[in-house]
Amino acid sequence: MNLPGDAAATGRAVATVPLGNLPAGVSVILVAHQALRLLALNAFSTCQGLGALTIVLHSGNMRPCKPSRKLPPLRREDLEHAIRAATDIIHGDRVIVIGSQSILGSFTEDELPAAITMSDAVDIAPFADDDVGTLADSIDSALGEWSPFHKEFGFYVQAVERETAVLPADWEYRLVGVRNVRTRNSTGLCLDPYDLCAAKLIAARLKDHAFVLALIESSLIDRVQLVDRIRLIDPSEPRRDAALSWVMSLRN
């Protein structure tokens, strides 16, 4: 797919290559706006259907996108169920929702683009755990992938550590609490949407860029505010500048 207008607009060297033919030791930054729109529409359902995309190549480590099956969207009530189940397993009253589905703490599924919530996993970290991750292991054993919970409800809880994501400074003070009757009054502390998007741009997988772009194009995330939030990430983080460049390359 050639996009000469977008290449001229960015003023950067652009090459069109099939994703399957990329050499090892290459990272991919999508810069053409048309390609980004295509990515937002398709990346959550399959990585194989993207074909050739206009890309800029930089040295570094390539983060491959794992092909995935098409999934039904998760709902706020699924998030609440995950919070309830995880806190029951660890006999606690608080967990932190780290991954993509923490967005459901701030918006309902009706407010979000459908692709945003297409997942069968909710990433949850115990609020406090020991050095060997005993509580996280308990969550994985009872609620993880292919568990009876997964088979019965169609989604699973992926136990993670608080350090899993690279986040802006003071993210803990911006957590969004989800607590109600459906969580049995336990609290799921969800990432603030801007902190979530910043972390995803540091992770920099194809699906992460698609996730953030979908929120921006739905006017749920403001590009300028996102730039400000990324600047709160430790300047020593090597992927910080690339994340900033990606957001600033988007058109208003």
Q: How confident is the model at residue 225 (pLDDT cuts 50, 70, 90)?
A: very high
Question: Which tens digits make up the pLDDT trace of 7-31?
Answer: 333 333 333 334 444 444 434 433 3
Band (74; pLDDT cuts 50, 70, 90): very high
The pLDDT, as a whole number, for residue 72 is 77
What's the chain's average pLDDT?
A: 80
Question: For the segment 32-65, what is each residue's pLDDT rounded down to a tens digit?
Answer: 444 444 444 454 444 333 333 333 333 334 344 4
For residue 28, CA distances in Å to 31, 57, 65, 227 come to 9, 6, 11, 20
Domain boundaries, the chain: 4-68+204-248, 76-193
- Tens digit of each residue's pLDDT (9 = 90 or more) over 95-154: 999 999 999 999 999 999 988 999 999 999 999 998 889 999 999 999 999 999 999 999
Nearest of 95, 99, 252 to residue 167 by alpha carbon: 99
pLDDT at 180 over 70: yes
For residue 9, CA distances in Å to 5, 13, 39, 174 come to: 6, 11, 19, 36
% of the chain residues with pLDDT over 90: 67
Residue 201 has pLDDT above 60, yes or no: yes
User: DSSP letter at 117?
Assistant: G
pLDDT recorded at residue 5: 39
* Those residues with Cβ within 8 angstroms of residue 237's Cβ, 6 or more apart along the chain or in another chain: 166, 202
Closest CA to 201 of 211, 192, 191: 211
What pLDDT shows up at residue 163?
Answer: 87
